[in-house]
Amino acid sequence: MPTDLRPRLHREVTSFVRRSARMRDSQRRAYEAQVGGIVLDVPQGALRTSVADDAAVLDLPATFGRTAPVVVEIGCGPGDSLVPMARARPEIDVLAFEVFEPAAAALVARAVREDVSNVRVAPVDAVAGLERLVPAGGLAEVWTFFPDPWPKLKHHKRRLIDPAFADLVASRLRPGGLWRLATDWAEYADQMRAVVGGHPAFVAEPEERGDRPVTRFERRGLAEDRAIADLVYRRVA
Active-site residue numbers? 148
d(CA 104, CA 90): 21
DSSP string, 91-137: TSEEEEE---HHHHHHHHHHHHHTT--SEEEE-S-HHHHHHHTSPTT
d(CA 237, CA 230): 23
d(CA 11, CA 9): 6
Contacts of 171 (CB under 8 A, 6+ apart): 136, 137
* C-alpha distance across the termini of the chain, in Å: 49
Residue 127: CB atoms within 10 Å: 20
Enumerate the known binding-site residues.
73, 98, 125, 148, 152, 184, 215-218
**By C-alpha distance, which of 230, 226, 227, 222 is closest to 196?**
230
Enumerate the known binding-site residues for S-adenosyl-L-methionine.
73, 98, 125, 148
d(CA 226, CA 183): 9
Please tell me what DSSP assigns to residue 199: S
